[in-house]
Amino acid sequence: MVQRILDQRYELEELIGGGGMADVYRAKDRLLNRPVAVKILHEAFKQDKEFIDKFQREAQAAARLSHPNIVNIYDVGVADGDHYIVMEYVPGRTLKDRIRQEGHLSVSESLRVAREIAEALAHAHANNLVHCDIKPHNILMMADGHAKVADFGIARAVTESTMTYSGNVIGSVHYFSPEQAKGTMITPKSDVYSLGVVLYEMLTGKLPFTGENPVSIAVKHLQEEPVPVRQIDPAIPPVVEAIVSKAMSKDPAMRPTSAELVQDISQAERMLMAGTPQTPAMMAQDPDATQVLPRVQPVQQSIPPRRAPQNEVYEQDEPEQEKSIFKSKKFIAGLLVVLLAGFFIGAFMSYGKFWSTAEVTVPDVTGKQMTLARQILEDKKLRVNVAETYNADVPAGQVVSQNPTAGSKVKEQRLVTIYVSKGGEEIEMPDLTGLSKSDAEAQLKKMGLKLGSVYEKYSNEEAGTVIKQDPKAGTKISRGQTVDITVSKGKQSHKVSVPDVTGVSLDAAKAALQSHGLRVGSVSKQESRQATGTVISQSPASGEVEEGSSISLVIAEPVKQQVQKPDKKDPEKNSNSEAKVPSKQNENGKER
């Protein structure tokens, strides 16, 4: 973009910076003849009317800020569909550039810069503005060494919009607070946490949390404690380490406000200038320092019995008759006041201004990020109550449901409860292998999981048995998540042809059958004129059978000779009787 003039006033001269949200140009204000910086939003945010309206409101609110440590915003506008902000032009480098060039800052310089940033934040927080993107890249260092905080009015709008669309936090993951990483409520103390990270980096030249990807870094913001700054550089005073640790507390309630942080840093600067040694013993002598004190037990004082005045008369050995307070007029009147007050408070909390006739339509905020949902409801003059719930189907930080529902007509200031997803409750994946499909499904249902796809596969396991699962057993998964399983179909069937083994020996038949994946079954014998041991028949004789099937064989054995039985009636026919053998005659015709 060269030689472009916005609204016939701001002449763009040079691109001097940019990021994922906008580009920044050095420009000339032709009307006032002064250098300015112009920030133009990227194309991705031009079509979102809800985001643009909020961006403009916050940018205009930020323009009302006036503080020496805040970059002044001069103008907000739209030119040819491009939304832009005109800001004070601060020549020089960013705090990030200075840290990169110098490695790290001295303790006194780090405290001074942090105090100036904290003073700027305290001024903004007093005007109900949260920066939401404090990082060294957004701190401009002036020529005289003083710091100016930039990007007020855009960071919160952009953060809410991007979180609404994707359910993910897009921003400076190294610097944002645990509540930003989680996608829950952002408060002024979120800025305090980010400033604690900036101070950590100024003192050590290192970031407290690093990782392979933004998600792993965000998880560390939520779960891990940073390496103490004195462990990196023992020369850093303990009081300074305490300031960093307190500002970076995971719990926002444990962090100081921005105004309190200014006081803490100022006190530490005075102690360092005075040369006070920062030993734990000296710190304990500070009446304002955090100390662990023994629990104070209440002192029991003996109260002397009250003497009765001389003009009072008491009946001896008879207790004074007590008058029930529940029957007194004062009690009844007070009870009525409490009941009426409770009614008015309950009516206001539940139904809004019951004395007001103004009604509003509850907007639909389901699926939106919590911070944006809150803003939408508050813009409709509704109050918001946030409740968290586990839901594996809705990304963490997004609204799952609301009460009253969208479209309902309610009175203004009605309390609307939005239920924000905490994601799926993490549980350990059970081992389903070896179970039947029905048992696996029952186990998943019992643990709040859903059965997903069911695949089938041949295996050596019994048919119907779970042989594989996804996710694997022992992994962390969210309650409500679907689980895919693979079920055994049993052994895979395979047909083979039955060879003809008749006419060969039994050993040859066995070898032939084994070569076809078959085996010999029963072997019987049958008399046959074929060679002994030869296969004379088989069953089945041909066709296809399952691999591994048995083939029955019949082999030949010799035929037995029949023995003639004696005939008792005709002995001559007996085979054992003597048979007359005709004798041979000689040449004379006589027997020899």
Binding site members: 39
Edge-to-edge strand list for the sheet holding 450-457: 450-457, 482-488, 466-470
- Which single residue is written with the structure tokens 């594996």? 392
Cα–Cα dist 440/31, whole Å: 75
> Are 196 and 381 a contacting pair, CB within 8 Å?
no
CA separation (Å) from 88 to 65, 143, 348? 13, 15, 45
> Are 419 and 396 a contacting pair, CB within 8 Å?
no
The string of DSSP letters for 338-372 reads HHHHHHHHHHHHHHS-TT---EEEPP--TTSBHHH
Buried b (16+ CB within 10 A) or exposed e, 327-338: eeeeeeeeeeee
Query: Which amino acids are annotated as binding site for ATP, given as ranges?
Result: 39
Query: Which one from 133, 151, 191, 264 is the annotated catalytic residue?
Result: 133
Give backbone dihedrals phi and psi of 179, rounded to 5 degrees, phi first: -70, -30
Q: Is 53 assigned a catalytic role?
A: no
CA separation (Å) from 508 to 394, 499, 511, 523? 70, 12, 5, 14
Helix (H, G, I), strand (E, B) or coil at 258: helix
> Are 367 and 395 a contacting pair, CB within 8 Å?
no
Q: Considering only CA atoms, which of 469, 370, 463 is closest in space to residue 421?
A: 370
At 419, list the tokens.
């239920």
Q: Which amino acid is at 589?
A: G
Helix ranges (H only) for 64-154 are 95-102, 107-126
At 531, list the tokens.
């060679």
Catalytic residues: 133
